[in-house]
Amino acid sequence: MMISRIITTALLLLAIPFLTAFAQNSAKIEKVLKEIDPWVLTDTSKILAFIDSTNAVTTEKIQSSELWQPTVSDLSFLLGIDYVSDSKIDNTGRIYFLMRITGESAALFYMDKPMGWPVQLSPNNWTEEGYTISGYSVHPSGDYVLVSVGKHGDEMNDLWYFTRSGSFHPLLVSRTVSYSGSIFDEDNPDVFYLYTYDKKTIQICKYTISELRLDTLYTEPGVFFPTDYYKGQMAVIRRFSAFESQLLLYDVAANKMTELSDTSIYYSASFTNDGQIVTYTSVESTGDEYMKMCIIDPANPKESKVIYDPKMEIDDFAFERKTGIAVVVLNKDGYSELACVDVNGSAIATPQPEIGVISGVSSNEKGEVILTFSTPKTPPAAYKFDLGDNKLEQIASISTFGFDFSNIKVDLIKYKSKDGTEIPAFIYIPSGAKKDGTNPAIVNYHGGPAGQSRPHFQRNMAFALSKGFIYMLPNVRGSSGYGPSYEQADNLEKRFDALNDAERAIDYLIDEGWSNPDKIAIWGASYGGYTVNWLATQCPEKFACIVSEVGVSEPDHTILNSNPIFIPSWEKEYGPVGKDLNRKLAPLYYAENLSRPILITGGFNDPRVPPSDPRRFAYVLSRLGKAVWYFEETEAGHGASVKAQVIHDLATNYVFTMMYVMK
């Protein structure tokens, strides 16, 4: 067996150079990098001058088009249609949710009865100051809410305190330390726990509200975070990589961390009333099996019992200690289903939504459950049901201002990759489209890589379909939603397989007669940006233009210049920094092969993909004489922060695309 594995690995490594369409010829690129690298990370004046210059050129190109104003007008209307998200409920029955209806960014609202008048908690002037809500936690009693707030997309979360009556003040504010993961001591409302992160170290902390005091309790090297607290104990997950983690128990009084498991995959963990822990894990899964919900008794560490095996992906679960019931959100081929089980694995009657996507679920000790749900045709809204009841009641709704989304149609299809693997994808087809090869098309690759494109409500989809675009969303190997084996199928050398999957999505549109290379645009953001950067330098003859948003062009550069604490984790997934594999997988070093126009964007405050990466790619392409346009938003991070930026970015992407595929 060991000899077989060695031979297989050797053959795979020998095959790598032949998987790419072009050989790397990087001498010229290295010379150009010597021009930009001395200032691209540290010289603020040169960076801002570069941004001003490139933004002006890109803005002139896009906004001088006759397509600009009508596109902005249409998208402004569609993006004005709001949404309800991240709904929660406390033990008094008060319902909370995020909604953007009164401003440029989402605000926190509550209402005391279903379909009641929503009362806004967070202030509108936060947007003017660059603040956006990244999340919030409601104390079970409903006495107060803790709101996490970032600034201009920097993801360094401040923490604000809101009373039940609506008064508020900041508790923890810093642009160099992030305060996250608030969990409550149900027996002492004056105390809550959280973890802090300064891009180097994570610390578990205790905050005493009456004293406005933050105490550091525990730290260790690497990535770890608490998920629940109960009677002096914390459930903690230690993360080695996206596919390696460990469950721990932290005793607050003794300041002692105990390992409850060996290395496996653990997502979230909650205490039961008797101190056991319910978790979603792969520890009892083998081969291609999905992860399962298990229960672990800390008195018998490294022993676990399966309580629920749905044989599909679990997106989320809310476990309520007093009822002993978990509300589970399932993912079947991208669509959501609901299930409720108790700690013995017994099923509880549960309503089923129509075909769509559930995003977030919350429950209280009375057995009331709140969730957010959308379909391709209906905006996200909040719904409620009682445990044991099959009735799902809508409790908050959104106006579409009379716009009819009923003609939006999405199909789940599968296409074959180069090695015969079937790859799932969602495809939107405009009414009346024919398989005559003349339809404009967009292939949009999701970020992650462990993300998933899903058939939720997308306001801009109506615009794309109105312009005749076929819109395809592939879930290539490495995507979540299809089990751990599929999610890990792009690690290290296997990333070439996932990139082949991405290329075959384009082939599908051509082979099926939906479109042709002169009519196809490829889009991607974050890791999706990496994907289109790769395709742009490997098979440019298959499409007309590229939109790469906050994307990676050189994995080593991004790994080394974003979050140092995650370097060991990323190296296990992408490859060791400085080694040949990451070099071979870097689109930057194939830049001479690009032969189609490309729009590249960056975010000045981006903590995930450092803006220096897309800057370098755009600079190199420009110096090589390629058709490249670069735009960097100076008040955003890993994507747009406010509605005006979303409209600007989408309008820019669509106008750029239409200029090349609708000639």
Interval 136-173: pLDDT, tens: 999 999 999 999 999 999 999 999 999 999 999 999 99
Integer-rounded Cα radius of gyration of the chain: 25
Please tell me the chain's helix, strand, coil percentages from 3-state DSSP, rounded to the nearest 5: 25, 35, 40
DSSP E strands, 153-230: 158-163, 168-172, 178-184, 191-197, 202-208, 213-219, 223-230
| Cβ neighbourhood burial of 212 (10 Å; 0-12, 13-18, 19+) | exposed
Residue from 196, 222, 197 nearest 570 by CA: 222
Percent share of the chain, pLDDT over 90: 87
Strand pairing class (545-549; 598-603): parallel
Cis peptide before 449 (omega within 30 of 0): yes
Cα angle, residue 473 at apex, residues 353 and 452 outer, rounded to 5° = 60
Taking the model in full, what pTM does it have? 0.94
The three-state secondary structure class of 297 is: coil
Statement: residue 95 has pLDDT above 60: yes
In angstroms, the CA 237 to CA 223 distance is: 9
Using the Cα atoms of residue 564, residue 565, residue 569 and residue 572 in order, give the sign of their dihedral.
Answer: positive
The half-sphere exposure of 632 on its side-chain side, counting CA atoms within 13 A, is 26
> Rounded distance, CA 86 to CA 382, Å?
9
Count CB atoms within 10 A of the CB of residue 601: 26
Q: What angle do CA 525, 531, 532 make, to 5 degrees?
A: 75
Alpha-carbon distance of 412 to 355, in angstroms, equals 12
Average pLDDT estimate for 452-481 = 96
Domain 24-77+403-661 has CATH 3.40.50.1820: yes
Q: Could you tell me whether strands 95-99 and 107-111 are parallel, antiparallel, or unpaired per DSSP bridges?
A: antiparallel
pLDDT score, position 101: 73
Q: How many angstroms separate the CA atoms of 491 and 513, rounded? A: 33
Report the C-alpha gap between 529 and 541 in whole angstroms.
Answer: 18
Angle, helix 643-661 to helix 44-63, in steps of 10 degrees:
60
The residue type found at 521 is A
The pLDDT of residue 457 is: 92
Q: pLDDT tens for residues 63-88?
A: 999 999 999 999 999 998 888 999 99
User: Quick one: pLDDT at residue 594?
Assistant: 98
Residue 4 pLDDT class (50, 70, 90 cuts): very low
Alpha carbons 421 and 414: distance in angstroms, whole number:
10
Lookup: tokens for 301: 């560490």
140 touches 364 (CB < 8 A): yes
Residue 100: the pLDDT is: 83
**If DSSP codes are grouped into helix, strand and coil, which group holds residue 627?**
coil
CB 192 within 8 A of CB 184: yes
Averaged pLDDT of the chain: 93
Q: How far is CA 532 from CA 151, 550, 593, in A?
A: 29, 11, 13
pLDDT in tens, 498-534: 999 999 999 999 999 999 999 999 999 999 999 999 9
Predicted pLDDT at 397:
81
- Reference 400, options 37, 163, 81, 22; nearest CA is 81
Q: Which two tokens stand for residue 619?
A: 């600079």
DSSP state letter for 291: P
State the average pLDDT over residues 279-290: 94
pLDDT, one tens digit per residue, over 608-623 is 999 999 999 999 999 9
pLDDT digits (tens, 9 = 90+) for 434-449: 999 999 999 999 999 9
Dihedral, 497, 572, 294, 318 alpha carbons, nearest 10: -90
* Phi, then psi, of 467 in degrees rounded to 5: -90, 5
Q: Which helix (H) or strand (E) holds 557?
A: helix 555-561
With b meaning 16 or more CB within 10 Å and e meaning fewer, what string describes 82-108?
A: bbbbbbbbbbeebbbbbbbbebbbbbb
- Give CA–CA dist 594/627, Å, rounded: 9
pLDDT band at 563 (very low <50, low <70, confident <90, very high): confident
- Torsion angle (degrees, nearest 10) of CA 454, 460, 463, 467: -60
Please give the Cα distance from 334 to 356 (Å, whole number): 9
pLDDT score for 564: 87
d(CA 395, CA 163): 23
* Contact indicator for 445, 476 with CB cutoff of 8 Å: yes
Q: How far apart are CA 85 and CA 269, in angstroms?
A: 23
Helix (H, G, I), strand (E, B) or coil at 201: coil
Q: How many helices (H) and strands (E) does the chain have?
A: 14, 36
Measured CA distances, 186 to 139, 192, 365, 375 (Å):
8, 9, 12, 36
Helix (H) or strand (E) holding 45: helix 44-63
Give the pLDDT mean for 96-121.
89
How many C-alpha atoms does 300 have within 13 Å on its Cβ side?
7
The per-residue pLDDT for 102 is: 63
CA 501 to chain CA centroid, Å, is 20
Q: Is 77 exposed, middle or buried (0-12, 13-18, 19+ CB in 10 A)?
A: middle
Distance of CA 376 to the CA centre of its chain: 19
Contact 507, 513 (CB under 8 A): no
Percent of the chain, pLDDT > 70?
96
**Distance (Å, rounded) from C-alpha 213 to C-alpha 211?**
5
Q: How confident is the model over 6-42, as pLDDT tens digits?
A: 222 222 222 333 344 455 667 999 999 999 999 999 9
> Domain locations in the chain?
24-77+403-661
Distance from C-alpha of 329 to C-alpha of 335, rounded to nearest angstrom: 10
- d(CA 628, CA 60) in angstroms, rounded, equals 14
3 state SS of 344 = coil
Q: Between these two residues, 116 and 596, which has the higher pLDDT value?
A: 596
